Every structure is written in C-alpha cells, then in structure tokens.
Amino acid sequence: MSLLRRAARGVRERRFFVPSGGGDPWTIPTNGSLASYTAAGVPVTEETAMQLIAVYACVRIISTALSGLPLDAVRMQGEVRRPLDPPPLIVSDPFGGTNSLARLTRRVGIQQMAVSCLLRGNAYAVVLQRDRYYRPTMLQVLHPDRVDVALDATGRRQYTVNRLPVDADDIVHIAAMAPPESPKGVSVIQAARQSIGLGLAAEEFGSRFFGSGAHMSGIVQVPGDLDRERARQLKESFQASHGGLSNAHTVGVLTGGAEWKPISVTPEDAQFLGTRAAQNLDIAMLFGIPPHMLGQVDRTTSWGTGIEQQSLGFLKYTLASWIGLFEDAWSAMLPAPQVAKFNVEGLLRTDTAGRFAVYMMARNAGLLTIDEIRAKEDLAPLPDGQGADPFVPLNSSATTPTDGADPGAQTPKSAAESGKEP
C-alpha cells in the first residue's frame, strides 16, 4: 500500500483480527484435521508432536533462548553501532504488552512467533498501529492456520487472513528454511513426521508395556491338568485379586499347589530403550540441539569441552540463524540506517575469573570504559563521569589532584629534572 493511500486513510491505522471461534462466521480447520497417519500408526500434527518430550524440549530451548535476549535498535554509522535511546516502540514494546495487560509482552510475543517457526516453518504478525511517519508501532501475532500466502505474477507475496486479503506491507512474515520460489517455509513437523511418529509410537508402546495387560509378566503353574473352565476361573480370580494398576504391589496368595513364575521380559529385550534414545538423537539433530542439552550425557560431544564452549557452539550453529531471521524482520520495520540487534552478551558470559580477565584486556586496549564494564555487571556508573573515558590509565588515581591542591598549579620539578644543583 502506497504512502499516499495511507495518508488518505489517516495517520494511525488499526486492524483487529478476531481469532477463529471468536466471532468469525466460519471455523478455520487446523492442520491436525488434514494430517494423515504415519507408517507407525499415529498421526503427527503440531499438537501431537509437542507430546513427544524431545520435540517439546527442543522447541522450548530455542524459543526461550531467543525470546530472552534483549532486543536493541541501533543506528549504523559506518562500522560503528550507536544504540537509540529511547528505542522505537516496535523494538521496546512491539506487541503493546507494556501498556495493556490484554496484550503480549515482547518476550511472550517473540516466543510465540519462534514456536510457529520451529513447528510450522512460518511465523506471522499483522501491523495494528503506525505512527505519523507510517512506521509500524504495534503488532499482533497470528496463528499460521489463519494465514495463507501465494506469489503473484511479479513474485510479490499475496496474503489472506481469515480468507480476507491483507496488504503485504501490513504482514510481518518470518519464514524458516524454504525451497526456491516458495512463498512459505518448510514445516518441520510435516518434513520429519515419520521420525516423530516413530517416537510417539515408541512412547505409546512403553506406556502399554508398563501398564496392565500389555504383556504377560508371568504364569501360574498348577500341578495336574485343568480343563478350560477351571483355567479361566483361576486366571480371572488371580487377576481380580493381584492384577491391575491399583494392586500392582499387593501380596499374592496361591492355593491348591499353584506356583507363580515370573517371565523375565525387559524393555531392553524389545529394543525399547534403544529406540527411544535413537529417536531423541534424531529429534535433537532435526532442531540442531546438542544432545547433552536434552539430557543425553552418555556419550562424548564434539561441541567442545566445558559448558562455555558448548554454549558457544549452540549460539553459533543453532541460535545464530534464528537470531538473524528475527533481526531482519524487525530491521525492515525501522528507517535506514537503523537496524534491530539482539544482545547475545548474556549467552557469552563465562565464569567470574574469565569474565574479569576479558574486561581487563578490553580496558587496557581502550575498547571498554569502566562504566561500560560496570554496566555489563549490572552496576551503576562511577559518579561525575569518572568511568566514561576509555583512555584514562588504570592508575588514574596518581594523576588525580589531592584535596585542597590547585588543579592548575604545576608540580615542582626535582633537582635532576631542572638540571640545577640542589
């Protein structure tokens, strides 16, 4: 939509989309109603996939790590980044949660969009308000099922929300990995639904395995022969007295020479635990999560030694790509040369000794001031601007005039310096 058309409609623009079931004349089908069963015999949708603990853990780790990073607006001056103070509303409060309890905070809104990207390959938000310069100031997160996108003859995206056309300039679309000339990202759940279905089937098997009636845990051996009716009565009597979940730990009493013999069948024999471990590893590989972050610490990792190196690997190989997608989307809503940047300092924090050693090197090189170092440690700056100069030597107290001394007075030279005899 052109600026002239926006000007004709007014300075501030509002669009509110009521969720499905809250006033729409028709109901939007979810992807679950259109999903087919996998070869493992279980349907895989975003709802069922989140029931697999490995999928839930991967989505939680990435979405919470991304949404927990501070989002800043900076102005690029060559290679120098200068933070904007105060930042624009689209950066500090993009979903209006600060001024309204009915709306989302920045962290919750970004987390919801990250979940949509991780599960469906696409995240959508609609522009609700703009300022007098027609720049977005407030967004509303949309469920991917409510949005459809296609390419027109010129390659421009055409969006519909609740089957109503919406201008592309009013939609924030974050697409994950996508093939060429595709308007949408690839849904991870649909692309890997066979692997996820196998994990869901393994969990269902385990639940049935450990539940009553899923497997024969033993036999009752009786001397002599029993006819069919007496055998049935003995089985029913034994199950009524000693079977079921509520009587799992009861004491059994057998009469008439009957003897209980347990059958040693373990989940390992059925490759149950091995299947679950392999599926957890596949899910971790699917989302780019190191296995040790999912609790698999029974093997060595190639992500480096120590928590610090492993965290750097997670940031570099997994989180960095998601950070770039969200930074690009938010930077597109800011006027050039302003860009949006996530602050990853929190993920780069090391132990106290290592952190202060880095501060000392940066301080000696003039890269950080004392106030900047104190800010990284959540400390207040020094009074009277004493910590604002990056080139003040560390032993600056030697150059500070003593109390009562004249700052402009010259220090008397020693005899050796003056070249005169004492």
Sequence-distant (6+) residues with CB within 8 A of 389 are 369
Q: Place 362 in a pLDDT band, splitting at 50, 70 and 90.
A: confident
Chain centroid to CA 341? 17
Which pLDDT tens digit goes with each residue over 167-203? 999 999 999 998 998 999 999 888 888 888 888 888 8
Mean pLDDT lowest among 76-80, 103-107, 118-122: 76-80
Q: What rounded mean pLDDT belongs to the chain?
A: 77
Q: Tell me the two tokens of residue 223.
A: 């001397």
What is the tens place of the pLDDT at every residue in 210-219? Answer: 665 545 556 6
pTM of the model: 0.72
How much is the pLDDT for 199? 86
pLDDT at 408 over 50: no
| Neighbouring C-alpha atoms within 13 Å toward the C-beta of 301 | 23
pLDDT in the model for residue 59 = 95
The closest of 105, 112, 136, 118 to 19, measured between CA atoms, is 112
In which band, very low, low, confident or very high, does the pLDDT at 132 lie, cut at 50, 70 and 90? very high
d(CA 300, CA 399): 54
Q: What is the pLDDT of residues 265-324, one digit of tens each?
A: 555 555 667 777 888 888 999 999 988 888 777 655 555 556 667 777 888 889 999 999
Count each helix (H run) and each strand (E run) in the chain, helices first.
15, 11
Alpha-carbon distance 73 to 137, whole Å?
13
How would you label 114-137 residue by residue, b for 16+ Cβ within 10 Å and e otherwise?
A: bbbbbbbbbbbbbbbbbeeebebb
The helix (H) or strand (E) run that includes residue 158 is strand 157-161
C-alpha R_g of the chain: 33
Nearest by Cα to 335 from 131, 48, 156: 131
Residues 39 and 194: beta-carbon distance below 8 Å: yes
Whether 357 shows a pLDDT value over 70: the answer reads yes
Structure tokens at 196: 């996820």
Report, as an integer, the average pLDDT of 44-69: 92
Task: Convert the pLDDT of each residue in 369-381 to its tens digit.
Answer: 888 888 877 678 8
Q: How far is CA 414 from CA 395, 402, 417, in A?
A: 22, 19, 5
Report the distance separating Cα 297 and Cα 290, nearest Å: 10
- Residue 208 and residue 267 in contact, taking contact as beta carbons nearer than 8 Å: no
Site of tokens 């609740």: 162
Say how many Å lie between the first and final Cα of the chain, rounded: 86
